[in-house]
Each structure stands twice: as C-alpha cells, then as structure tokens.
Amino acid sequence: MPANPTSPPTPTPPPANEPPPACQTSTGIIGIGFLYEIYARPQGSTEPWRYLGSTCFADQVPGATPTVSLAQIINAFHLTPWATATVSTQPEGNTTLVGLPTYARITWSTSGYEPGEIDTLDPATMLGLTVQIRPRVDHYTYVFGDGTTFGPTHSDGGVWPTGDVTHAYPTPGAYQARVDTTFTGDFRINGGPWTQIPDTVTVTGPTTTITVHTAKPVLVH
C-alpha cells in the first residue's frame, strides 16, 4: 500500500559519523521541550515532503503558537540586576606588608542576584509565562591593582591557612583591588526543568583600597 501522501515521511537517521539531533549537546546549547523535525511542501501538492531540519525551540516551528524565544531569555539574562562581588583581604583591615602573602576573599552585596538566587521575570514581558533565571558563576578574575591578576578561577578565596587566592605586593603604596565576576545561568519556564543559558555576562566589582607598608627590623635591647 502506498504511503499516505498527506503525512510527512519518517525521518532518516543521520549518517553514522554525525551525532543524532538532540535538545542537549556538549556545546551547552539546550532547547525547550520536544525535538521538532520540520518538513514542508506546497499546500495541496502531492510531491515528496522536503526535510528542512530540526529544532529544539518551539518558536522556530512554522505555524507554532508564539512562545518565549531563546533570544528574549538571553536579553533578559543580560538585564539581570546582578549582585556585585567585593574583595577583602587578610591581614585584616585591607592593610599588608611588602612581600607578605596577602589572602583575598569575596563577599557579595546585599542587593542584586548572587549565584543560586532566582530572578522571576515579569510575565507581562514574557508572553504571560513565568520565566525564572538562576545565575551561576562561570569564573572570577582577581585584579590586584598593581598590574597583576589571578584567574580565571572558580575560587571565591578565603583566609589563612586554607585560602587559595594570595598575592604579595612588591612595593609599598595604595592599590585598588577588585574581582570581576563572569556569570552564566539557567532558566526555566512555568516551573519546568532548568536549562542552561548559552551566554555569559561579566560584572566588574567595586574597588577596595589595599594599603601596603614596608616593615623595618628594629633591634630591642
């Protein structure tokens, strides 16, 4: 019996040397929901269906009901009111000595969204859907103010003896240190599964003045 001319053909599997289409790939670009295989032919025609490709994004399917696009979500991600990371040091008081290993650590501002907190977007800007964004840290870059940096790193620093972000200033002076945070994140729609956002945003942190002194040995009788 001939195939139903009104139905698209069964998709042909990809060649053995190509990965099968999927809504999650090693590149981190992940779609929402089902994988759509798209075929087309002129209306009323009996010619063979023509395969156009596949997509993980429902808004790319011809004739689909409008939904939030990945571009909208990435744009909202860039507009997130981020928390900022401030660097503080040990010895305490952000004062240290020339050549002394100085330990750096991060504290977050009380305003804005820090890693793990959830930003729920205004449904009026998202076609009435509940879209949530959850920031994550991609990496930090510590800027010590004397022309040197440390990073990219996943470490938020610490204090002696376990802290793993240290710097020894070679000369005395006042240095403006900071930490720049590169965020990535996840999103979900209407309480669905979390999906990685294929983009990053770098937020420059406020500066902290580190005062470096020179110590001189003194003999005491």
Model pLDDT for residues 193-217, shown as the tens digit of each residue: 999 999 999 999 999 999 999 977 6
76, containing H or E segment: helix 70-78
Residue 180: phi and psi, rounded to 5, are -100, 130
34, containing H or E segment: none
List the chain pLDDT tens, one digit each, 221 residues: 444 555 666 655 544 444 444 455 433 444 545 677 788 888 888 888 888 777 776 656 666 666 788 889 999 999 999 999 999 999 999 999 999 999 999 999 999 999 999 999 999 988 888 999 999 999 999 999 999 999 999 999 999 999 999 999 999 999 999 999 999 999 999 898 999 999 999 999 999 999 999 977 666 66
CA 160 → CA 136, 146, 153, 157, 164, distances in Å? 26, 22, 18, 10, 9
- In this prediction the pTM is 0.70
Residue 141: phi and psi, rounded to 5, are -130, 120
Query: What architecture does CATH give domain 71-213?
Result: Sandwich (2.60)
Q: What share of the chain is helix, strand, coil (3-state, %, to 5)?
A: 10, 35, 55
Closest of 195, 84, 184 to residue 131, by C-alpha: 195
What are the sequence ranges of the domains in the chain? 1-66, 71-213
